[in-house]
Amino acid sequence: MIDRRPAVALNVVMLGPPGAGKGTQAERFARSHDLPKISTGDILREAIHADTQLGRSAKATIYAGGLVGDDVMIGIVRERLGRSDARRGFVLDGFPRTVVQATALDEMMDGRGPLVIVDIRVPKEVLLRRLAARRICGTCGVNAQVDWMTSCGNCGGELVHRKDDNEAIVAERLTVYDRQTKPIVEFYASRPTFRAIDGNQPPDSVAGAMEAAICHASKVTGEARA
């Protein structure tokens, strides 16, 4: 197990296509290690639900299956990482999604310790099935967890299908991922802190694989610093 209060910050980036389970696993790992889970998707959906300026500008792009612009996303993450609860580390879900964002994140990490990058891999046909069945809370907008049946475990709201999870938009989102986000794997793949895990297995098995991968990558960075 990784020390829950490491001397060096534990900074984790979750990669993987829509439907790979990044959000579920990021939440689980962050909670067990007392780290903030920073989901740019959640931040944007909350902004859309609250009808803020950010939400209005992002809504049309998200519902069409596209990606919000680099400048907006970099600004959101830079502000969030500047808060005190992220000093000991964080788990990033949904960022970076482009090489431009990944390069900006490297700049943000100056003096904060290394990044551990986890890429969750799932076959496309499995992703399509998962995304077609995925639900969110119609009240607060968070993604439904696997143990929520009809109501939100966060606020009690009704669970509904996401507007951007219909078949056409799902196909477009996966195409966008392949075109714009997959190059990030190449950007990170040669780093000693990069790990790929099989996401096509039960959630507990994925969580165990992720724990082991992050633990091993953290030891590698520790040895490099010694």
Q: What is the pTM of this model?
A: 0.76
Distance CA 45, CA 32 (A): 24
Assign 206 a pLDDT band (cuts: 50, 70, 90): very high
37 in catalytic set: no
Task: Select which of 37, 97, 130, 195 is catalytic.
Answer: 97
pLDDT for 169-192, tens place per residue? 777 888 888 887 789 999 999 999
Q: Are 4 and 88 in contact (CB under 8 A)?
A: no
Residue 191: per-residue pLDDT: 95
Task: Name residue 113's amino acid.
Answer: G
Number of Cβ within a 10 Å radius of residue 84: 7
Q: Is 83 known to be catalytic?
A: no
CATH superfamily to which 10-123+180-225 belongs: P-loop containing nucleotide triphosphate hydrolases (3.40.50.300)
Residue extents of the structural domains in the chain: 10-123+180-225
Catalytic residue (choose from 22, 37, 80, 130): 22
135 is a catalytic site residue = no
213: left (phi over 0), alpha (psi -120 to 50) or beta: alpha
Q: Are strands 135-137 and 159-161 parallel, antiparallel or unpaired?
A: antiparallel
